[in-house]
Amino acid sequence: MTRFALTLEFDGTPFMGLQRQAHGPSVQQSVEEAVLAVTGEVATMHAAGRTDSGVHALGMVCHVDIEKEMTEFRLMEALNARLRPAPVAVTDCKSRPDDWHARFSCVGRRYVYRIRNRRAPLTLDKNRAWHVARPLDEMAMHRAAQALVGRHDFTTFRSAHCQAESPVKTLDRLAVRREADTVLVEAAARSFLHHQVRSMVGTLALVGMGQWREEQVGEALAKRDRAALGLNAPPEGLYFVEALYPAE
């Protein structure tokens, strides 16, 4: 039995989320069906994180255990051949020790949220970015975001359906910058609450549009009340970028 770590890139648009769902297709289902087709084995995919319906990934790490003897390259090529035409690709494949776990060995996760800030409707970026037509002040958004960095009770920015035992998380980085008409919000932490990144981005967008004062973000955090949330950004702008692991 070999444990293989797979790095996945996927377009979340047609999926109900990363994890298997009874009511629709998922990334996990696509990968597990590809493994079955390649090896004849029923394997369970374990991932570094969870993504909702419509959320994308550039570097989601997961693992599967396979009995059949295969090289890393051969498994990656075979899975990619079987995954077509689903918008999922294995971009890297490495064997790992039996005690390595895609989720529990992970020590950091990075997300980026893309906002296309222009009047014209989206074409190539439809379903791949949040379209905000009103001008955004990305510098005000960045300043306001710093109130959220550090260890806090993030109840205000937590989904009502979040299953985490505690709302307390340590946010290592939250930065906002602009590239032409695209505003990028980058977030890094060991782990996140359900909807935390989207909730933070939506509230920062209100600051960028001038509907909230910069100080209101910290005030909303201090209230520890979901009702104090300004706005939950839509899923299509969110990308899981990277899962970090201790040096091996």
Catalytic center residues:
52
Cis peptide leading into residue 85 (ω within 30°): yes
For 171, phi and psi rounded to 5 degrees? Answer: -90, 115
Other Cβ atoms within 10 Å of 14 Cβ, number: 16
- Check residue 235 and report its DSSP letter: G
Q: Per this entry, what is the length of the chain?
A: 248
**16-to-24, 37, 82, 116 alpha-carbon distances in Å:** 6, 22, 20, 24
For 133, phi and psi rounded to 5 degrees? Answer: -80, -30
Q: Within 13 Å, how many C-alpha atoms sit on residue 207's CB side?
A: 26
Here the tokens at position 9 are 């890139």
CB 58 within 8 A of CB 88: no
CB 178 within 8 A of CB 206: no
